[in-house]
Amino acid sequence: MDRLDDLLHAARPLLSKVDDLLSSAGAPADHGVWGELRRVRLLPGDAARAVAALRPSTLSDAGPELRAEARACVEVAAALPPPREWTGEAAEAYEEVRRRLADQLSGGDESLDERLQATADLAEALREWMEQTRGEVAAALASALGSGEAIALAASEGSIPPPPADVLAAANIAAHLLRVVADNYDNATDLLQGSSGLASEAPM
């Protein structure tokens, strides 16, 4: 449990009311919440829970383990024995294969050790992104809980149809929370697109 988990529990009644108002009454036609809903494609409650499901700890060991494997590739490449006194066509063929294998293991931008290092960088960047996203969504929830809109919705009698003031309050809270979620997920998209080369097949 961290601050986001605690705040999400405390904000559950507010998020439920905001989601219900958005679903049943919508929002003013020119309100910014519509743009944020198109970006996230989730109601605020679902969006907050999706972020709360991110667990940075699952990637804590990935970076060090991948870097250890990269070091092992370098060591194996360095340990491949040359032909030494062995000569002739067979020795030349062996040396060609040895050099090619060593280069694939270590020594170039597309070598296995470099790809492992890049994957470790990505894992660590994703862990940091998860931590940052959870922190920023927690701050947005705290802000929402302490807002005048939240106080007004808590005091609302829930009449049907809801009064325009309640609809506007829900839209304001939703827009703020969804904007934080959307901005952070845009950052993740940029991060993954920048590492798209890792998905290509390693050279053999």
Q: What is the pLDDT of residues 146-181, one digit of tens each?
A: 999 999 999 988 788 999 999 999 999 999 999 999
Q: What share of the chain is helix, strand, coil (3-state, %, to 5)?
A: 75, 0, 25
Check residue 158 and give its pLDDT.
Answer: 77
Cis peptide before 83 (omega within 30 of 0): no
The average pLDDT across 13-17 equals 96
Residue 197 class from Cβ within 10 Å (0-12 exposed, 13-18 middle, 19+ buried)?
Answer: exposed
The average pLDDT across 78-97 equals 89
Q: Pick the residue with more confidence: 202 or 98?
A: 98
Check residue 204 and give its pLDDT.
Answer: 45
Is the per-residue pLDDT at 39 higher than 90? Answer: yes
Longest Cα–Cα distance of the chain, Å, equals 93
pTM value? 0.85
* Alpha carbon separation from 184 to 45, 149, 176 (Å, rounded): 16, 24, 13
The average pLDDT across 11-27 equals 96
